[in-house]
Amino acid sequence: MIHVKWDREILHFPVPPPETKLGKLRTDLADYTHLPLGSFKLIHAGAVMKDDSAPLTAYKIRENSTIALIGGHSLPSAPTTAPPARPQPKVKEPPTEQSTITAIRSELDRVRTTLVPDVDALVDALTPPAATTASSPTSAPTPTSGSTPTQSFSSTAQAPHLPPHPTSASYTSKPTSSDHTRLSELLLQSLLRLDAMHLAGSDWPEARAERKAAVREVQGVLDRLDGAWSAR
């Protein structure tokens, strides 16, 4: 006898003649188990028996050999009710000029709200405060009769130093190269996204003008960042 291990069962069959083809054994097992012919694999001594035209002697099948039948579950019966229809994937509509303009403005707004404040803070931290020197009150000219008193400033006086925009970055010490690199890379990524936006040739003049203005503004922020870093 040879033994066929199928799930939790062990089936026993007479040893086939040596010249029996593997395909004949596979067909006999399918008939016996009522399994679809192509629904299972036969394994002997750790090797999958694939060549149905080969004789069983090629796989060294002999008395007391054990063959494993893997898979071989009966095909499920047809459901009585139709399964729910799977939702069809949503077809992505091609961009229009207006949708492209919206995407450009959205990218520019993201730069203005998330990157520009951080750039302002970094530039401010790298720029020494401007000195403001007011003239001494005793040196101010005495107003003449009928004239309006004026306040005099030295020729080196400058506008008061403005505080940075509110930002998530807080520089209690000098910014580091990693701060500069992070902001530079984020601004470059924004420029790449703007450049990758699809424009339908000369048919979209408004979108082209919007992107050109957005690129100019983002590039200006990047130039200001790099200039302040170079001059530190």
pLDDT of 63 higher than 70: yes
Nearest Cα to Cα of residue 205 among 104, 119, 125, 97: 97
Of 75 and 90, the structure prediction assigns the larger pLDDT to 90
Among candidate residues 21, 101, 39, the one with its CA nearest the CA of residue 76: 39
- HSE value, Cβ hemisphere, 13 Å, CA-based, for 105: 8
Residue 6, SS3 per DSSP: strand
More confident residue, 96 or 173: 96
Residue with tokens 């500069």: 180
Please give the pLDDT value at position 165: 44
Q: Which of 58-67, 85-94, 139-148 has the lowest mean pLDDT?
A: 139-148
Contact status, residue 95 vs residue 198, Cβ threshold 8 Å: yes
List the structure tokens of 12. Answer: 């026993």
3-class SS letters over 147-179: CCCCCCECCCCCCCCCCCCCCCCCCCCCCCHHH
151-199 pLDDT, tens per residue? 443 333 343 443 444 444 567 778 888 988 899 889 988 988 888 887 7
Higher pLDDT, 23 or 81: 23
- What single string gives the DSSP state of each residue in 61-113? --TT-EEEEEE-PPPPPPPSSPPPPPPPPPPPPPP-HHHHHHHHHHHHHHHHH
Res. 129: pLDDT tops 90? no
Q: Is pLDDT larger for residue 5 or for residue 154?
A: 5
Residue pair 59/93 in contact (Cβ under 8 Å)? The answer is: no
Residue 73, pLDDT score: 57
* Residue type for position 145: S
pLDDT tens per residue, range 132-162: 444 444 444 555 545 444 444 333 334 344 3
Q: Which helix (H) or strand (E) holds 221?
A: helix 205-230
Lookup result for tokens 């080969």? 54
The confidence score (pLDDT) of residue 5 equals 86
Find the mean pLDDT for residues 197-205.
75
